[in-house]
């Protein structure tokens, strides 16, 4: 019997599946980190921000890695880049929340 093989295969598929489908999943750590910089951040704003970031911020240059700037630096960049990406208000805030949560420090 090679039941160990199937056990392994099922585990691998489950693990891969959660990574593949979890592309937009926001970890509790990310939410916590974003909230420590902006109390109005939530899983919903971070998720929305991620989508906006990926959709709006790669038209002029490659999508910057969220880890390429610290949580202290991102607000400056988002303020500068939001008009470039034609976003403002809640959308701008959402992008910042995502970057705060995913930032390099």
In 3D space, the residue among 58, 62, 67, 59 whose CA is nearest the CA of residue 99 turns out to be 67
Site track for ligand HEC across 48-67, x = CB under 6 A: --------xx-xxx--x---
* Distance, CA of 85 to CA of 55 (rounded, Å): 9
Q: Determine how many CB atoms are found less than 10 A away from the CB of residue 3.
A: 7
The site that binds ligand HEC (CB under 6 A) totals a number of residues, namely 15
Nearer residue to ligand HEC within complex by CB, 3 or 60: 60
Indicate the length of the chain as a whole number. Answer: 105
Residue 75 interacting with ligand HEC (CB under 6 A):
no
Binding residues vs ligand HEC (CB under 6 A) = 56-57, 59-61, 64, 68-69, 77-78, 81-82, 84-85, 95
């Amino acid at each position: 019997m090679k039941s160990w093989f199937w056990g392994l295969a099922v585990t691998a598929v489950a693990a891969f599946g959660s990574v593949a489908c979890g592309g937009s999943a926001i970890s509790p750590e990310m939410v916590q980190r974003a909230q420590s910089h902006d109390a109005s951040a939530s899983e919903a704003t971070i998720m929305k921000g991620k989508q906006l970031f990926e959709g709006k911020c790669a038209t002029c240059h490659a999508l910057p890695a969220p880890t390429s700037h610290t949580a202290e630096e991102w607000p400056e960049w988002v303020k500068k880049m939001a008009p470039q990406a034609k976003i403002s208000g809640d959308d701008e805030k959402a992008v910042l929340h995502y970057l705060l949560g995913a930032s390099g420090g």
